[in-house]
Structure 1
Amino acid sequence: MSLRTIRAELAADPQLGTGNVLTTLVARGEGLDEPSLTFDTDVDGHPALHALTLRELDQRVAARAAALHALGIQPRDPVAVQVTAGADQVLNFLALARLGAIPALVNGRLPAEPAAEFIRRLRAAALLTDAAHRTAFGDRDLGVPQVIDVAGLGAGDPAAAPAPFRHRPGDPAVITHSSGTTGLPKAVAHSHASLFASVRHRLTLPRAQGVERLLGALPPAHAATVIAVNLALANRSELLVLSEPSGTTVLAAIEGWRPTGVLGFAAIWSELAAVDLTTRETDSVQLWWNTGDCAHEAHIRRLVAVGSRRVAARGGGRVQPGSVFIDGLGSTEMGHSQFFITHTPETERYGRCIGKPHTFSDVAVLDEAGEPLGVGEVGQLGVNAPTLALGYWNDSVTTWRTRLNDYFLTGDLVYRDEAGYYYHVDRMVDSVDLGGGRRLFTAACEERVLAALPDVLECTVVAVAGPAGADSHVLLVLTADADPAVDRTAAVLAALEEHVAATVRGVVVVDPDRLPLGPTGKVRKLLLRERYLAGQLLAPTGGAA
């Protein structure tokens, strides 16, 4: 059977969803000895970077399902998972899904105190973790009946695994969490149908170039990794899951594993852009695929300048220098990027353009009353799509506060142009009202500075409102060859709109280690604002929060 036919049949299967992709594929019996997932650590005797066939993957998952079943894990049990290795995260997610339990994936970089509070609020039946995290938790109350060490789960007997659970479309299938940049991460519940909706959509389209061999440079506990795993399995793509993606580990994997496509967040593109990629072995990459926050033009241009892509030509396709970058805007709650735009070296539509909505997404720009705004008017982004999460686990108050007129309010400020393209200007919590119908949009300011100053690698604008008006600071991370002694204030102010430039109280070159980051690599602007109001904008070190 052709891959095209298989993809079409999977797309048309109403029972297929987040919780049963692997078991469905195995039951079909096709391609069982083809490579599927690869991990950067050993897996039950298989060495790191050994591509597990679909059959081997199923056996490793069934072994864990059998072990967890023997420990009393039942269908509908929420089970927290916080580990370091990507293999432990993905294999235990698949095993819990096979049992019909509800895996609650916790970012391995989330520190012990907020992680413990997050797990307590889940009211989970168990915690699956590794020795390092167990030690970090110490004697903290986790509120779970049992803590299970993932190290021994692979020794289970695959033959003893119960029959796969039969999921219904509306069943909660997995819990992931928000980035935590504004406080404790929020637990987001996804249904069997919702987190698979984007995969189903892609299976109805022609198989995109660059997806044959994918490098997953995403946090393993993120909803994006769950989507990537199921997309790779259903799409017959190979996928390498990195345990702790960073610019260094991603670049090493590109040169050593030779992917055709790389999946990542904006923070990864910034780190890769810090390197002269023209001197590295990046020629295998055809596709860079961004999700979460939209990416900056300055970073995109450095990425698409390397690699290659196939283009249509008379008499057939041909390979052309320069790769493709797919950008958009998404979040954990949205369940997938709701927009898309494709960049190549010839692209000129930037300025935080996030493209046009996917066909499955109903989006609107809304005012505070939930009424739609017109072309060019900045408002709240509202989304109504089959990918949307069910809501916040054990938090109906927050769930319903984010709903308005049948739309989920994402917390983003956007506008659309006459051609139907949408542009992201800021997060609502980060923007400041300047009065007179004007606002300071920090993300839009950062885009302007990066586009105007080529020796600036990363820019963070911190803005606060006070009785005397707004104050803002511009924090610059420079490229390796830039002179930190140069005063860039005039150039920064010239890049900003006049009413925004008037609020700037300082332009500061900073070491990136002094910026506080969340577990997914986002700068915690809320913490920077709190520090500024307390009289110290930058602490001695930042690090992951």
Structure 2
Amino acid sequence: MKTERGWRARLAADPAIGTGNVLATVIAQGADPDGPGLTFDTAVDGYPAEHPLTLGELDERVQARTAWLHAHGIGRRDVVAIWATEAQDIVLSFLALTRVGAIPALLNGKMGPAIADEYIRRLRVTAVLADAAHKPLLAGEVLAEPRELGTGDPAQAPAHYRHHRDDPVVITHTSGTTGVPKAVLHTHTTLYAALKHLLTMPQAQGTDRILNALPIPHTATILMVNQVLGNRAEMLLLSSQDADGVLRQIERWKPHAVYGFAVTWAGLARADLAARDVSSVRMWFNTGDCAHEPHIRKLVAVGTRETVTRDGRVMVPGSHFIDGLGSSEMGHNGFHITHTADSSQYGRCIGKPYEFAQATVLSADGVELPVGQVGILGFRSPTVSPGYWNDSINTYRFRLNGWFVTGDLVYRDETGHYFHLDRIPDAVAGFDGPQLFTSMSEERILAALPDVADCTVVIVEHEGAYVADVLLELTPDAKPVDRAEAVKAAVAPDVAAIIRTITSVTADQVPVTVTGKVRKVALREALT
């Protein structure tokens, strides 16, 4: 193999590479079959849990599944739902289904059975793969458990399906904060466009050994699988994203980077990180919702990172945290900002768009708004999903004047940095009326009250007026004091004036989606 930079440049220049064929392309380009493949936290076809599959072993296990699918009549354009918990069940099935030209539809294992049945019905699937725990929960027929696919004969695998750039290759789903999740389609090229760009850049510090704490059926995990295969890096994929388990794996496996959602960082920030061995971590990477300042500060205070001094490259205490804003529909984080212990730009700053993307702030009728004015986030990028599977109404509802609208309220400053204020359904933000934001209120409460580990703010209409209810999750050492004045002083005056209740809660009292996002719609219904 040539130099790392030359290898990555060759992949980036390959016109045929995309989400559906990265594994096969990397092998065809001459990658060492004894080099890194993927590592799973559960057993794979006789290999024990946490056995680092080589590239050759990974390819053989995928070929076995490809042969099984081909023998059972699964092929081009067949939509196959996968409902499972273990990372290996989902990732290996995804890799095999794309090899036969099928379209894997990935379901989060935490999805409720009734919602899963309805979601699968709307997909109009050809077949369903479900693990032993989920199989009896489904009303319809299940073709097989994902692990059964590993019994296929690799030698009988058909030739790799040849993908066109616009071929559909995977369906993932949104978090489902308002009910049945939307089915997000990605093509061979949309979900690889950002990775092609990153292949032309120097490889980021820490990305040679990654702990994947992202939800496995999420778009972000598919991105990560293809990124590490292209980078010839190591990655351990976790089937569960609970903070305690992630922390234990950091201590055991010693990753250089950890990828996750905001809910994981909130969980890690509750721990006494100074008493744990997280020294291997150089970088934390957040996607989905942007992270809260107090959680970021606790993470960048630990770990180590490489920096350049007059004496050359040295390791120093403290890590990087790369924050931004992403979604299944955006296909990759659309924005990025890097924090260290010395950072001061917070206040829900999501940074600037990546070079491959464009962003703007829009009025309700699609007019681009000036610096400092709050509006709807508009986004353009080759990474954006072409739409929702079998759902043209929502596909076009989220397009405005040529922009994909993410459902977020933002503003940008004179330097081009974007700031996230709230999700549209959670805010009261008419362009000519009140400006009441829940996410920004949470950010300010967390920054002002160090004995609050996490919080949720909900705004509802009650008897013709808006009222706000504040739920505080306190740290274990928090004292039983009245926090009403401190909370009101932290938030914007318009929000402070409408606070109705301030309640201490535990984490399990706050309803969340399968990806850990707070279900504010459920809280609004309960509090109205």
The answer to whether structure 1 residue 161 and structure 2 residue 157 are counterparts is yes
CA–CA separation in structure 1 for the residues paired with 2:359 and 2:494: 30
User: Of the candidates 493, 506, 515, which is equivalent to residue 498 of structure 1?
Assistant: 493
> What per-residue deviation string (whole Å, max 9, x for no partner) do you get for residues 113-152 of structure 1?
1011101110010001111001222xx2x3x6x5222232
Q: Are the aligned partners of 1:194 and 1:388 in contact in 2 as well (CA < 8 Å)?
A: yes
What's 1:517 paired with? 512
What's 2:301 paired with? 305
CA–CA separation in structure 1 for the residues paired with 2:143 and 2:21: 25
The answer to whether structure 1 residue 360 and structure 2 residue 356 are counterparts is yes
The answer to whether structure 1 residue 204 and structure 2 residue 223 are counterparts is no
**How far 1:438 moved relative to its partner?**
2.7
Q: Are the aligned partners of 2:37 and 2:56 in contact in 1 as well (CA < 8 Å)?
A: no
Question: TM-score by structure 1 length?
Answer: 0.95
What's 2:392 paired with? 396
What's 2:269 paired with? 273
CA–CA separation in structure 2 for the residues paired with 1:35 and 1:15: 23
The answer to whether structure 1 residue 180 and structure 2 residue 181 are counterparts is no
CA–CA separation in structure 2 for the residues paired with 1:244 and 1:400: 34
- Equivalent residue runs for 1:338-487 within 5 Å: 338-433=334-429, 437-483=433-479, 485-487=480-482
CA–CA separation in structure 1 for the residues paired with 2:464 and 2:488: 20
Letter in 2 for 1:155: T
CA–CA separation in structure 2 for the residues paired with 1:7 and 1:366: 37
Q: Are the aligned partners of 1:464 and 1:472 in contact in 2 as well (CA < 8 Å)?
A: yes
Q: Are the aligned partners of 2:444 and 2:490 in contact in 1 as well (CA < 8 Å)?
A: yes
Letter in 2 for 1:33: D
CA–CA separation in structure 1 for the residues paired with 2:325 and 2:427: 18
- Equivalent residue runs for 1:103-142 within 5 Å: 103-137=104-138, 140=139, 142=140
Deviates more, 1:20-29 or 1:384-393: 20-29
**How far 1:474 moved relative to its partner?**
0.5
Question: TM-score by structure 2 length?
Answer: 0.98
The answer to whether structure 1 residue 526 and structure 2 residue 521 are counterparts is yes
Q: Are the aligned partners of 2:426 and 2:459 in contact in 1 as well (CA < 8 Å)?
A: yes
- Equivalent residue runs for 1:86-105 within 5 Å: 86-105=87-106
**How far 1:262 moved relative to its partner?**
0.1
The answer to whether structure 1 residue 508 and structure 2 residue 509 are counterparts is no
CA–CA separation in structure 2 for the residues paired with 1:70 and 1:36: 26
**How far 1:420 moved relative to its partner?**
0.8
CA–CA separation in structure 1 for the residues paired with 2:43 and 2:118: 31
Letter in 1 for 2:101: G
CA–CA separation in structure 1 for the residues paired with 2:272 and 2:376: 38
Letter in 2 for 1:203: L
**How far 1:28 moved relative to its partner?**
2.0
> What per-residue deviation string (whole Å, max 9, x for no partner) do you get for residues 451-509 of structure 1?
000010111001013453211100001112213x3221111011011111011001100
Q: Are the aligned partners of 2:37 and 2:57 in contact in 1 as well (CA < 8 Å)?
A: no
- Percent identical among aligned pairs is 55
Letter in 1 for 2:500: R
Q: Are the aligned partners of 1:434 and 1:470 in contact in 2 as well (CA < 8 Å)?
A: no
What's 2:17 paired with? 16
What's 2:7 paired with? 6
Partner SS for 2:191: helix
**How far 1:434 moved relative to its partner?**
7.8
> What per-residue deviation string (whole Å, max 9, x for no partner) do you get for residues 284-308 of structure 1?
0000000010000010000000000
The answer to whether structure 1 residue 330 and structure 2 residue 331 are counterparts is no
CA–CA separation in structure 2 for the residues paired with 1:41 and 1:161: 25
Letter in 2 for 1:515: V
CA–CA separation in structure 2 for the residues paired with 1:452 and 1:435: 28
CA–CA separation in structure 2 for the residues paired with 1:147 and 1:367: 48
CA–CA separation in structure 2 for the residues paired with 1:90 and 1:531: 37
**How far 1:437 moved relative to its partner?**
3.5
**How far 1:62 moved relative to its partner?**
0.5
Partner SS for 1:398: helix
Q: Are the aligned partners of 1:449 and 1:495 in contact in 2 as well (CA < 8 Å)?
A: yes
CA–CA separation in structure 1 for the residues paired with 2:429 and 2:228: 44
Runs of 4+ in structure 1 displaced over 2 angstroms? 433-438, 465-468
Q: Are the aligned partners of 1:379 and 1:413 in contact in 2 as well (CA < 8 Å)?
A: yes
**How far 1:315 moved relative to its partner?**
4.0
CA–CA separation in structure 2 for the residues paired with 1:236 and 1:53: 11
Letter in 2 for 1:199: L
Letter in 2 for 1:234: G
CA–CA separation in structure 2 for the residues paired with 1:438 and 1:376: 16
Change (3 A) 1:532 1:6: same
Q: Are the aligned partners of 1:455 and 1:482 in contact in 2 as well (CA < 8 Å)?
A: yes
Q: Are the aligned partners of 1:432 and 1:465 in contact in 2 as well (CA < 8 Å)?
A: no
Letter in 2 for 1:147: L
> What per-residue deviation string (whole Å, max 9, x for no partner) do you get for residues 223-265 of structure 1?
0000000001001110110001110110011000000000000
Deviates more, 1:407-416 or 1:434-443: 434-443
What's 1:538 paired with? none
What's 1:541 paired with? none
CA–CA separation in structure 1 for the residues paired with 2:387 and 2:175: 15
Partner SS for 1:312: strand
User: Of the candidates 250, 253, 262, which is equivalent to residue 249 of structure 2?
Assistant: 253
Letter in 2 for 1:396: S
What's 1:542 paired with? none
Structure 1: stretches of 5+ with no match in the other structure: 534-545
Partner SS for 2:169: strand
What's 1:213 paired with? 209
Q: Are the aligned partners of 1:434 and 1:440 in contact in 2 as well (CA < 8 Å)?
A: no
CA–CA separation in structure 1 for the residues paired with 2:93 and 2:486: 51
What's 2:32 paired with? 31
CA–CA separation in structure 1 for the residues paired with 2:407 and 2:253: 37
What's 1:225 paired with? 221
Partner SS for 1:262: strand
**How far 1:99 moved relative to its partner?**
0.8
Change (3 A) 1:435 1:258: closer
**How far 1:183 moved relative to its partner?**
1.3
CA–CA separation in structure 2 for the residues paired with 1:378 and 1:50: 50
User: Of the candidates 239, 259, 264, which is equivalent to residue 260 of structure 2?
Assistant: 264
